[in-house]
């Protein structure tokens, strides 16, 4: 039964992911430099496949399906981060509408959790707030120190990501993501693909860091 549930969850996330990318491709008119739409880019398909594969692996863990609210919360953030990874990589965009949507969904799930079980709901709410504050404060400090190299959208996303991952996973996701981003930047510098003043999209690496955290924890 676990494999069926994991595959079904992966299929749901994949379908929602491609639908979201298609809609943004139309609404934001996000055309690639070459001919063709965003949805046709190889990176988009690879991101969708990677997301589905990781979900199947993580979904095989029975504890993911013990709490329905936790399951929904996890599916939502995995879906959203896969979309953000693509939009940030290709167009340096983190749509505010999706950030607001994620906040609304988190508030709804937190409220339902409190109604169902006050004790468990409060514990999860506390953990979520710790994660959100940790992610938001760390990225806000980086934003101030970097003098604009880090976007305000990254700060908002780090806060929302912390709410969903809670204090248990947010630090791992940030650390893995930033380390991988640094390694990638050094490799690109050595290959002279970028200069010292050039920036790289951070969200794809946060997305990978999040997936690694889900696999490990």
pLDDT band for position 209 (50/70/90)? very high
Give per-residue pLDDT as tens, 81-96. 999 999 898 888 888 9
- Number of folded domains in the chain? 1
Residue from 37, 52, 126 nearest 82 by CA: 52
Q: What is the domain extent for residue 102?
A: 2-216
Among the residue ranges 94-108, 148-162, 170-184, the one predicted with the least confidence is 148-162
Residue from 137, 142, 5, 122 nearest 61 by CA: 5
Selected residue with higher pLDDT from 131 and 148: 131
- According to the model, what pLDDT value does residue 32 have? 45
Give per-residue pLDDT as tens, 21-78. 888 777 655 444 444 566 667 889 999 999 999 999 888 875 666 678 888 999 999 9
Mean pLDDT of the chain: 86
Structure tokens at 110: 């937190």
Question: Mean per-residue pLDDT for 106-118?
Answer: 92
């Amino acid at each position: 039964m676990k494999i069926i549930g994991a595959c079904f969850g992966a299929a749901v996330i994949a379908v929602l992911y491609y639908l979201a990318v298609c809609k943004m491709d139309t609404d934001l008119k996000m055309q690639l430099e070459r001919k063709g739409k965003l949805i046709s880019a190889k990176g988009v398909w690879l991101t969708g496949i990677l997301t589905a594969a990781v979900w199947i692996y993580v979904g095989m863990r029975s504890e993911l399906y013990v709490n329905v609210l936790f399951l929904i919360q996890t599916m939502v953030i995995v879906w959203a981060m896969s979309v953000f990874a693509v939009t940030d990589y290709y167009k340096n965009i983190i749509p505010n509408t999706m950030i607001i949507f994620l906040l609304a969904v988190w508030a709804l799930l937190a409220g339902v959790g409190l109604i169902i079980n006050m004790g468990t709901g409060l514990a999860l709410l506390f953990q979520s707030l710790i994660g959100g504050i940790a992610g938001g404060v760390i990225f806000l400090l980086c934003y101030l120190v970097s003098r604009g190299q880090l976007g305000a959208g990254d700060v908002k996303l780090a806060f929302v990501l912390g709410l969903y991952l809670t204090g248990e996973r947010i630090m791992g996701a940030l650390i893995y993501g930033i380390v991988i981003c640094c390694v990638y930047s050094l490799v690109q510098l050595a290959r002279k693909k970028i200069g010292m003043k050039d920036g790289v999209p951070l969200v794809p690496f946060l997305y990978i860091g999040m997936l690694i955290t889900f696999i490990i924890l």
